[in-house]
Structure 1
């Protein structure tokens, strides 16, 4: 077994690149089944690699045993959500882990994208998003954000844009009611900006919120809201036997420690209907 890290590009900001690849397992010198796993940088790229690498190695090993052929998985991390969505829709990667809104955008481009499995959260298919403010803020209600500033995540982010905008709309806040707003990309960038006082409030996922708080970033939750857990998706071009083997391994492994690093409670079967509420929120955000 060996690991090879290679970077597709280098830019002035060090190793944070628009896309880089990591070969996570080579079961033999010449693997029979070569797969590309795609995702995007919702957090720091180094954290993304650290999070996925052990699981992808585990998945490749179990799939090799299931298929009777060595499996090689390469990680492809895009800096932008849109790039990663395009890669899956066009079959440039074989499978991917996306947020709900990205799944919907991918199926809009290619209706034959399939759900392999959904991540489980204590046996459920939902988890929390947060709109946070600074610890010193006196704001207690979303409606109080009128005339103030807001930090969103990526423009295609489920929590970072669509669901948080739906929350603001429910509170009677539209873009015209805010003094200003911006899209900062990653969830951690939003939390840090709110903690630094650059924005009055911002939207981020609960796990990133908790991590930042544990590191001393002075933010608190103003509201929490439900989001659907992330789907793991297969490109339309993925062979049915490989899809079946991958799904079998993922659904059978909910108690494996290595699996809990990417999905704390394993995986559940998923269907397109699980994401209908997200579709509605995305349509609603057009009113923002």
Structure 2
């Protein structure tokens, strides 16, 4: 039997039909592949904190570590993690941001952690900062370098500079220890809240207040810079927690915790937590809760 023959018109039509069929087949394959293997989006996280010191110093403090943390989480999760920073103008705004999920995680002082947990008990501690392998460090009540005062009770009828009204060291713990020394707001000649630790140190050094409460690291920096202040009294504080918002997925939270707990390089940690991080729990902050209650007597 002889093979079928096609004239020129039939051959062109067959060729066009073949091209159309192949085109449709290719489009179907591409669509199926796309549906089966969707493009993986970046994991974009927002880190929140408030400016306890100058905002420019706050940005400088966190920038390198957050970049490193994103890289480590990328390695753990197998997806690119990008972290940007959102600095609140004050403690209350920072607390709002985490409680309402505007930021994904944050580094707060203990009193701010307690406040945000009271508002949203779904937030969780990722890790706590370590100082010498411990969860405690010192707060300072400072006076002018030429002051003759020796004890907290000497501050009766004197003026006092506090930090932010929600500050652990700058308000609650300082007021609790003043109360124990018999010094309440009624015994002081005056007091004010200056919002930031560096402002407290500067005000005491300038003689505008007799004494003030600030954290150890800011005190050390200001003394090194020549601000004339010295220690009158030291008291214990618990280290800062890093806190996940209530809607952060457990896989992301666990990856962040793993990255933080495994970080030991001093060059990476120098501006954040010189001795790395430790596991933490809500119970670590119970004595701060007691100080907050006690300070109501101030």
TM over 0.5, shorter chain: yes
2:286 alignment counterpart? 276
1:138 alignment counterpart? 148
1:198 alignment counterpart? 208
The gaps in structure 1 that reach 5 residues or longer are: 1-29
CA distance in 2, matches of 1:222, 1:31: 54
- The reply to whether residue 33 of structure 1 matches residue 49 of structure 2 is no
CA distance in 1, matches of 2:169, 2:143: 16
Root-mean-square deviation over aligned CA pairs: 1.0
The gaps in structure 2 that reach 5 residues or longer are: 1-39
Displacement of 1:256 in angstroms is: 4.8
1:47-84 deviations in whole A, cap 9, x for unaligned?
11111000000000111111111111110001110000
Q: Which of 48, 58, 61 is 2:58 aligned to?
A: 48
CA distance in 2, matches of 1:42, 1:232: 15
- The reply to whether residue 242 of structure 1 matches residue 255 of structure 2 is no
TM-score (norm 2): 0.86
1:76-106 deviations in whole A, cap 9, x for unaligned?
0011100000110111100000000000000
2:121 alignment counterpart? 111
1:164 alignment counterpart? 174
Larger Rg: 2
Q: Give the helix-richer structure, 1 or 2.
A: 2
CA distance in 2, matches of 1:73, 1:256: 21
Q: Which of 198, 203, 211 is 1:188 aligned to?
A: 198
Number of positions where the alignment pairs a residue of Structure 1 with one of Structure 2:
259
TM-score (norm 1): 0.89
Moved over 4 A (4+): none
1:178-218 deviations in whole A, cap 9, x for unaligned?
01000000000000000000000000000000000000000
- The reply to whether residue 57 of structure 1 matches residue 94 of structure 2 is no
* CA gap 1:31/1:61 in 2 versus in 1, 3 angstroms: farther
CA distance in 2, matches of 1:193, 1:31: 49
CA distance in 2, matches of 1:256, 1:172: 42
